[in-house]
Amino acid sequence: MLMNTYDRIVSLMTSTQLTEESDPFCLPSLDAAALLFDAPWSRFAVIGDSLSAGTGDASPGYADAGWSDRTADILRRVRPDLEYLNTAEIGATTAQTLEKQFERMLEFDPDLLHLPCGANDLARRQPDFGEIERTLRRMYEMASETGAQLTTFTLGRAYVVPVFPDWSERVARVNDITRGLAGEYEAVVVDMWDHPVNARQELLSQDRIHFSTSGQAVMATEMVKGLAGVLSRTPHP
């Protein structure tokens, strides 16, 4: 009897465990591609840090891929000729991104460009938010000169660094900077701060920083929705 009860409990847990197909925050690939069926972008570049790279542990039931690779795959469904460049480096600050990645990105000549949102700029004893904003603004100014459609994220509230007791306040401030700059430069901003996925168990990887691939799948869906919003506002001849 005890074994039968245990089996029923395990069966119930397994049957309700989310997978990529059952996740209410994820779009099936075909549906995501349908939202971007008339996407004009053929050169997609991603620069920045581990968030840009799509770093994260594998989640059972989800493809082992980060948001950026997932977005590129969806775009390729509607633009088979898509070229994709991701120069993101784990731990890169905004200044390091400008110094080490920008030249290669410019040579690539993207028409869709993803920018980091300053996560690693916060990881210091006393962040200088004035300097953070100036550096992020310089990045946006230089990126806007490419003529590419710009995209970015805000940081989610599930991302916590316990060594900094005021981490949530730091994230809220840099998110406000990101939203302001994105508005000025007409960038797609995928706002993950209040997204309900933040409450999901097992969202974070073992490092307790990066979203696992279940979160990466949600981020990719939100990016597709953001790009679809751009297309819906673009006049057609």
What is this structure's pTM?
A: 0.91
Contacts for 131 with CB less than 8 Å, ≥ 6 apart: none
Fold type of domain 23-233: Rossmann fold (3.40.50)
The 10s digit of each residue's pLDDT in 128-138 is 999 999 999 99
In this prediction, residues 147-157 reach a mean pLDDT of 97
Among 51, 44, 42, 112, which Cα is nearest to 81's?
42
Q: Count CB-CB contacts under 10 A for residue 122.
A: 19
Percent of the chain with pLDDT over 90: 87
Domain residue spans of the chain: 23-233
Token pair of 126 as six digits: 């006393």
pLDDT computed for residue 237 by the predictor:
53
Q: What's the pLDDT score for residue 16?
A: 61
SS3 for 162-180, per residue?
A: CCCCCHHHHHHHHHHHHHH
Position 166 scores a pLDDT of 95
- Cβ neighbours of 127 (radius 10 Å): 17
Residue 84 DSSP one-character state = E
How many whole angstroms separate alpha carbon 50 and alpha carbon 88?
7
* 152 beta partners: 189
For residue range 114-123, list pLDDT tens digits in order: 999 999 999 9
Region 81-109: what's the mean pLDDT? 98
Q: Quick one: which H or E segment has residue 54?
A: none
Per-residue pLDDT, averaged over 16-45, amounts to: 95
Name the pLDDT band for 3 (thresholds 50, 70, 90). Answer: very low
